[in-house]
Amino acid sequence: MKLRHEHNVNMHNLKGPWGVVGSGWVGFSTDGKTTLWSDSFSGCIGLVMCNSGKRWGALAHLNQMIQNSTKDLELALATVSDFISSKMLAPVTDVMIYYGDPGENLGETQGYNLTEDRIKEVMQCERVIDLRRTSNDTPYGSDFVYHPGDQIVYTSSATGCLLAKTELPEDDPLDKPLPLQAFPYQEGTKAKLQGLGHKGWFSLP
């Protein structure tokens, strides 16, 4: 199924298990059974990637340092898409891109014109859901929740911890250990991509 975006909906029935994708991490749900979440996207970039014919999904939380003028944002988008595809043995067909900061962090500071068509080209995908902020308003809050099993990205106009809306049960903690692995930077690219997966990646069902 295609990736969808639902805004300001009742999330109380959304269940875990949960995988928390911290800043600079890339998280996979290989079977669509783990709900992925990140918070505090101010200055960071959130990417959700999936294949519309599969049940897996991935969330990449690019640290805000990826927007520095010495980094290569387009290369980061291409790299993470290639990485997801190689791990899942299937192309990325759908992408959601989320910016927590307003207009000055849309990539133009690096000389890029990141239109939706350009993102499709760079990430070699078919569809893009563009949730980038373009003003000081926060129409989609400051974080989001991604449910790979249903291929839905949930947002809220309210700032703060969106996951609180799901009434997370006490027996499903968010601070459980994750099988973190080092991100495989290609030779000569790490300096340009520091901020992409510099803290590693993990895979859960």
Number of compact structural domains in the chain: 1
- Domain contains 180: no
pLDDT tens digits, one per residue of 4-60: 999 988 777 787 788 889 999 999 999 999 999 887 777 789 999 999 999 999 999
- Domain contains 42: yes
Cis peptide bond N-terminal to 17, omega within 30:
yes
Closest CA to 123 of 92, 86, 158, 102: 92
Q: What average pLDDT score do residues 177-197 get?
A: 90
Q: What average pLDDT score do residues 107-134 get?
A: 81
- Domain contains 83: yes
Question: Tokens standing for 122?
Answer: 């760079």
pLDDT tens digits, one per residue of 47-106: 999 999 999 999 999 998 887 878 888 999 999 999 999 999 999 999 999 986 655 555
Question: Tokens standing for 36?
Answer: 């992925």
- Domain contains 64: yes
CB atoms within 10 A of CB 174: 12
Q: What is the CATH number of the domain that holds 154?
A: 3.30.1330.200
Alpha-carbon separation of residue 195 from 52, 77, 160 (angstroms): 27, 12, 23
More confident residue, 48 or 161: 48
- Domain contains 93: yes
Q: Which domain holds residue 100?
A: 4-169+193-204
Question: Is the confidence at residue 111, as pLDDT, over 50?
Answer: no
pLDDT at site 170: 60
- Domain contains 85: yes
163: pLDDT confidence band, cut at 50, 70 and 90? confident
Q: What average pLDDT score do residues 156-184 get?
A: 74
- Domain contains 184: no
CA distance 165 to 41: 18
pLDDT at site 102: 56
- Domain contains 160: yes
CB 69 within 8 A of CB 111: no
Alpha-carbon separation of residue 173 from 14, 97, 199, 200 (angstroms): 15, 27, 21, 21
